[in-house]
Structure 1
Amino acid sequence: MTGKVSLAQKAFDEMRGDSVDTKVGEIIRYLLCADKKKLPVKKKDIVDAVLKDNSPRAFVLLLDRAKDRLKEVFGLKVVEVELGKSKIKAYFLVNCLPEASQFLDQKADFPKMGLLFFILAHIMMNQNFLSESDLWAYLKQLGIEKGSKHATFGDVTKLITQEWVQQLYLDREKKSPNNVTSFEYHWGERAKHEIDKEAMITFLAEAHGSTPEAWHKQFKGIFDAL
């Protein structure tokens, strides 16, 4: 690890000050642009786009500067995740300002985010996972049928199985019991960072005519595991 850090430092030191600022700015713009689509950015894509004329070894230190600037100027936190079985490094942005903890209030697309909120809540209440069949059974109670377009949400199948999975709000895990392929849903990494779980517990408790304290006690293990 020390060798990697020293190589990164050497590559970083070889860059001129104005070049460092330019590259940091390009990393910031790249991350902000990707964040508009709420898609994680692979490390390789940033390196290929920003450091093609410089040593990619400087990436880790340039990213550290970009992280600091994003937090100070934009109030954004860079979250690092590993994608898929190959553990590919990727990054996405979340708002770290205090008022940003209210998940629904910060989203322009309120109806869809409201639906996502209820799906995540249902997953949490079901021991932090939900089979695809159980998910659609739940959505059917809300008047949402699999394979049909909804007047408010549009193509919900695509929204759940593709868009929210790609944006890391949902994790869709393939299961093959007895050679029968099925899928299971969990909270995605973005949801874990963006959702105010305390607010979710309070909302669910009030919706069920209970108290947050009672729900915290009932779902403590599940709550802590997210």
Structure 2
Amino acid sequence: MAASPWSLSEDSSSSPDEEGPGTWGEPEVAQPLLQAALHRKAADLVVFLLLKYRTQQPTSQAEMLEVVGNDYQDAFPVIFGQASACMRLAFGVDVKEVDPSDHSYVLVTVLGLTCGGMPSGEQGMPKTGLLVVLLGIILLEGDSAPEEEVWEKLGVMEVYPGKEHVIYGEPRELLTNVWVQEGYLEYRQVPGSDPARYEFLWGPRAYAETSKLQVLEYMMQVNPGQQPSSLALSEKAVSDEEEGA
């Protein structure tokens, strides 16, 4: 399951409407072996949902129950909550219910971003989750984030420059080249720095497709216990954005 630089709360890994009976509905008090079994089933469901996302196909609760298996039907709300949180936080993909009558779902990138998370021609995993994290870091840093600060925060997710990541590949290329070319980020030398230092800012495509308010709301959902001082800076940035609109 994904970790983020603003540290995930335990509540973020469960579905808001789960009501499973007994220990199924309360994974925090379940036995370790039961917790491990739930995580394995959630991982199986994530693999299934990633396939649906890549092929741009909808899915249904009935299909997902087949993946989970008969022995875990009662635990489905917990498993689905964990899998949905992983899809959102690690991959930047929302599992959205489109028809409550038959519990059908579509998979879309978060916050209205259109990049799809995978550069053209690639068959790897969606990387939008990392982009959203980075946009949040920039927001928390007051609209421009020093490169060294970015890598320090991404280290929480074991994302390091020059080191291949299982989901995001080589992150330096992604941050300083791919997303810059796509217009999501700006990567520039800090004015007047000698020796040269660099910083990240939102690019024009990020401003066009999402907003500081949406990113701030996302961050608060991820971690309701976010440091007040950090949120105060972000809220000021949002206020400035709204005044300039």
Q: Normalising by structure 1, what TM-score?
A: 0.48
Query: Over alpha carbons, which structure has the higher Rg?
Result: 1
Which structure exhibits the higher relative contact order, with contacts defined as CA atoms closer than 8 Å and separated by 6 or more residues? 2
Q: Normalising by structure 2, what TM-score?
A: 0.44
